[in-house]
Structure 1
Amino acid sequence: MKFNGACLVAILVAFSSVVVIYASDPDILTDFVVPPGQNALNLTGDFFTFTGFRGLPNNNLTGQTTFKVTKAVAAEFPALNGLGVSMAVLQFPVGSVNPPHTHPRASELLFLVDGSLLVGVVDTTGKLFTQTLTKGDLFVFPKGLLHYQLNMYAGHAATAVSAFGSANAGTVSLPSTLFTSGIPVDVLAKSFKTDTHTIDLLKIALKSP
C-alpha cells in the first residue's frame, strides 16, 4: 500500500492527537466522579471541601530545617478525580531545598506567598533557566521538565502554593529515584564516572533523616 503526502500527514496528526489524549487526565462524562459505594444524591458540600491546608501559611517554621510539602491531590481529596487540577503548599525553612524533580503528568504554576526563593528549570536541551522570586511572584514549570526550588535567604522562611494541571501530577525526585530505588551500585558508579564507595555514601546519606 502506498501513502501520498496528504495521507501521511493525516495519519501523523491523528497519532499526535492520541498521544496528547493519553498524556493528560482523561475527560469524564459526568459533572464529577462519585466515589465507589457512594450515591451522588447523598453527597454534601463536605465532598467538595479540603481542610488540610488550614493554618499552613501562618505556620512558624522556626527550628525546622527541611522542606515540607502538603498536597491536595486525588489521593487526599477524592473530589478532584477526573477534574484535571490539584494543589500543594510548599514550606521552606531557611536554607532548605526542594530537590531536583519532575512532574510527569502536569505543568506546575507556583505562587510565592511569602519570603524569597531561587528556582530553576532545565529544558530538554540541557539549558537551565533560573529566577529569584519574591512575595507575589508566579513561576511556571512545564510538564515533565526537571526543576527545583531553594530558600537560600537567611533569616526568613518561604511559603508557596503550587497548582497542577492534573489530579495526580506525580513526582519523580532525582536523588531518591537514582540512589534509593535499588538501581545497582555498579550502574550508578559507571553512569556518574565515580566509584562504588562514593555511591554507597550517597545512598546512606539519602536514607538518613
Structure 2
Amino acid sequence: MFPKMTVLLVILLHLYAVSASDPDPIHDFCIPHTDFSSTFHSCKNSSSATVEDFVFYGVKKPGKFSKAGLSAMAVTSSVFPGLNTLGMSFVRADFDVGGINVPHFHPRATEVAFVLEGKIYSGFVDSGNRVFAKVIEKGEVMVFPRGLIHFQMNVGDSHAAILGSFDSQNPGSVKIPSAVFGSEIKGEILEKAFGLKAKEIAKMRKKLGPQ
C-alpha cells in the first residue's frame, strides 16, 4: 500500500502534466537578445524595443515547394522576435494543384487553419481512428486538436494557401511517413507492423530517410 503522501504527489504531478502549456508571460513583451538558439530567451531592455520587433515580413510570398507540392513557412520566435514568450506561432502553407501536407501532428499545440485561397481537403483522426474531414474553401476555418494526426490536400484546379495558427511558441511537428520510415526503428518491427517485405521497407526508407 502506497503512503497517502506519495499517492497525493502522483496525483498532483499528473494534474500538472495535463494542464501544462507555454508559461504565462510576466512582462508586456520580451524581445530576446540576438541569440535565438533556445526556445525561451532572456529579454533585452524594453526601452530598446521598436515597432519593427513586432512586425514580420517573411511570408509575403510562398517559399520553396517540396516534391509533395507544398511550401510551408513556419514563423516562430526564432525568426520573429516579437512572438517570444507569447505562447503562439503560425505557418503559411501553399499548395500546388494536387499538393499535399502529409499526415502529421503537433505534440505541443492545437492548430487553427484559415484558408486564404483555393479548396483544401482537410481533416484529422481522433484516438478512436475516426476521421473528421471535408473540403474547406477560401474564408473558412478548421481546427486540429492538439496531438491529433491531421492532413491537407489541394483538391482545386489552382493554387491554394492556408494560414495556420498555433497556441504554442514551439508547437513541434512530427510527420508520420518520415517519423516511421526515416527513423532508426528496426526493420523487423516495420515489416510486422505494416505487413511489408524487407525490400519494400528498404525502398520506403530510401525515399523518406534524411535528405
Common topology (TM > 0.5): yes
* Runs of 5+ consecutive residues of structure 2 not aligned to the other structure: 35-43
Letter paired with 1:192 = F
Q: Which residue of 1 aligns with 2:100?
A: 97
User: Shift of the alpha carbon at 1:39?
Assistant: 2.9
User: What's the counterpart of residue 148 of structure 1?
Assistant: 151
Q: How does 1:52-131 map to 2 (within 5 A)?
A: 52-56=58-62, 66-131=69-134
Q: Secondary structure at the match of 1:167?
A: coil
Identity rate of aligned residues, in percent? Answer: 32
Q: Distance in 2 between matches of 1:55 and 1:174?
A: 27
Alignment partner, residue 189 of structure 2: 187
Aligned residues of 2:68 and 2:100 also touching (Cα < 8 A):
no
> Hey, what does 1:164 align to over in structure 2?
166
Please report the RMSD computed on the Cα atoms of aligned residues, expressed in angstroms: 2.6
Please state whether the residue corresponding to 2:122 is helix, strand or coil.
Answer: strand
Task: Give the secondary-structure state (helix, strand or coil) at the position aligned to 2:183.
Answer: coil
Conserved? CA contact 2:68–2:101, under 8 Å: no
Give the 3-state SS of the residue equivalent to 1:121 in structure 2.
Answer: strand
For the Cα contact (< 8 Å) 2:181–2:209, is it kept in 1?
A: no
> Does 64-73 or 77-86 show the bigger shift?
64-73
**Aligned counterpart, 1:30:** 27
Match of 1:204 in 2: 206
Contact 1:65–1:94 (CA<8 Å) still a contact in 2?
no
Task: Tell which deviates more after alignment, 36-45 or 173-182.
Answer: 36-45
Counterpart pick for 1:42 among 29, 35, 48 = 48
CA deviation vs aligned residue, 1:31-53 (integer Å, no higher than 9, x gap) = 22231374322121111111111
Residue segments in structure 1 that go unaligned for 5+ positions in a row: none
**Number of residue pairs matched by the alignment:** 197
Q: Give the 3-state SS of the residue equivalent to 2:189 in structure 1.
A: helix
Q: Deviations over 1:98-131 (max 9, x none)?
A: 0000001110000101110111200011111111
* TM-score using structure 1 length: 0.84
Letter in 1 for 2:208: L
Match in the other structure for 1:51 = 57
